Chain A
């Protein structure tokens, strides 16, 4: 029986760094996706936001992981603007509140963090699966993670499956007609394009997988 790996504040900081380098590397791709059905600022906005998060978390190494997630969320709300700032900002804050002041968290708590994040995004964005939004990537990832952890998988392995589910959800946004956000203004013309928010969400899940794998 393997010992459950302990996730902590360092995992959160590493997650945010992984997100920052990933969205920065994919910045032009995200902007290109957003130009097709939005207004061409998604790559720039999330890159600016997560760069600010990394900066805000510097020197907070001893803070509990829940507090770090709340700080990360607050930073996104204050720096990103648009829709992705409030959405990911309140998602991380809700996730952080789940952990309270606990110094570590396990796979089951990670499921609860991401489930709270998803609930917060669905509530604030009033979005449902199939609306061609980040929910289409995040919801299948949370479902997969919950199932794998319940079946006894280690967090890193469960996250690998969850990230793959997010990517499948992201790809499945291509044929959908957008019902929320700026892409919805295009009506049928939004069909045939991958949703930029679902795409950055998949990058965020992959980044979490890398951060957790490195913690073990």
Chain B
């Protein structure tokens, strides 16, 4: 029988997002500040004159995305909405104004109907204020067919990689066109697929979004606790990874000998011991498929509250993307070289 009772550390379900952001700011005053009136997280030294700024945002519940990726070499600001709900245009506009250093602002938007609409309204307002905005939509989830019959592929794991890589480009002084093109290139060269072993409980709802009977797995899930494309009997980790790698690689189709970044992401309720076990399978299967995972990222980076599950993102690298991936980054959620 699935667990249906909500057990969460909180004071009031209505204040979970705000109180968590206050904690983020208290923990990392050297990196960022939290503007509670505008409901945005801003890099401490923003705006940096002459630097292209990057902002992203979306519903909360995906921590460390996006607030945990504000800092050196990644985002200049993040706009957190309510749990699993797109933020409002006022937040994106306030963030855009707070970080604009005169070189323009890139909006990294995950492809969800609400996010796209709200960011579009904000970009129009920012343009009215004379700020150059370039909005790039991330849609890397191969579980959703990109067709007239859906809202298009969802933006998932590639968002983290795009924020890191384009953030490094901006930090190195690249102009607005180059930084936007970098986001686009990461999106075009990355594919993802997610699976879940449980749902999750949004604090305001107090109940799981779905019940998964014992011994079953949801295949093709997104990051909002929603059910996947189909439900199947849970097989071994090797069998699950077969499905994930096949889904990603058959769509990405990198040439043999390509260098890739393999990102095994935890959905929030799966321990690292299982994520590394999955990575062993991923690494072996990618090599067997003729590509070389020269970089990897393993852990909880784009989560769905306490959902048990994992997603695989494969990014087809080139020299430029590899160099930008290796560049220094210092944020609450990701740090190396700085």
Contacts and interface: CB of A to CB of B under 8 A. Distances in A.
B134 interface: no
Contacts, number: 108
Contacts of B205: 31, 35, 40-41, 44
Given A77-B89, A177-B149, A39 B224 contact: yes
Contact of B88 (A39, A77, A124, A184): A77
A138 B180 CA distance: 38
Interface in A64-85: 77-85
B209 A182 contact: no
Interface string B123-156: 0000000000000000000011100111100100
A79 B226 contact: no
B209 A35 contact: yes
A113 to B, nearest CB: 21
Tell me the dominant secondary structure on chain A's binding face.
helix
Contacts of A48: 82
Contacts of B224: 39, 182
A182 B85 contact: no
Contacts of B84: 39-41
Contacts of B150: 179, 184-185, 187
Interface string A157-194: 00000000000000000000101111011110100000
A77 B119 CA distance: 11
B175 interface: no
Nearest to A178: B150
Given A179-B150, A180-B151, A186 B226 contact: yes
Given A39-B224, A86-B117, A81 B151 contact: no
B83 A81 contact: no
B276 interface: no
B209 A81 contact: no
Find the residue from A31, A48, A82, A179 having the highest chain B CB count within 10 A.
A82
Nearest to A79: B88
Contacts of A125: 113, 117
A45 interface: yes
Given A40-B209, A180-B113, A186-B227, A86 B85 contact: no
Interface residues of B, number: 38
Nearest to B90: A78
B304 to A, nearest CB: 10
A75 to B, nearest CB: 10
Contacts of B118: 81, 85-86
Contact of A83 (B86, B87, B222, B229): B86
Contacts of B230: 189
A11 B20 CA distance: 41
Contacts of B209: 35, 39-40
Contacts of B117: 83, 86-87, 124-125
B202 A40 contact: yes
B12 to A, nearest CB: 14
B114 interface: yes
Nearest to B121: A86
A179 B113 CA distance: 12
B81 interface: yes
Nearest to A45: B85
A38 interface: yes
A-B interface, 7 closest residue pairs, ranked by CB to CB distance from nearest: A83-B114, A39-B224, A184-B150, A86-B117, A82-B114, A83-B113, A81-B85
27 contacts: A38-B226, A39-B226, A45-B82, A45-B85, A48-B82, A77-B88, A77-B89, A78-B88, A78-B89, A78-B90, A79-B88, A81-B81, A81-B85, A81-B86, A81-B118, A82-B85, A83-B113, A83-B114, A177-B149, A179-B148, A181-B113, A181-B151, A184-B151, A185-B222, A185-B226, A187-B229, A189-B227
Interface of A: 31, 35, 38-41, 44-45, 48, 77-87, 124-125, 177, 179-182, 184-187, 189
Given A41-B82, A86-B121, 16 more contacts: A39-B224, A40-B202, A41-B204, A41-B205, A44-B205, A77-B89, A81-B59, A81-B81, A81-B88, A82-B114, A85-B118, A86-B114, A179-B148, A185-B226, A187-B229, A189-B230
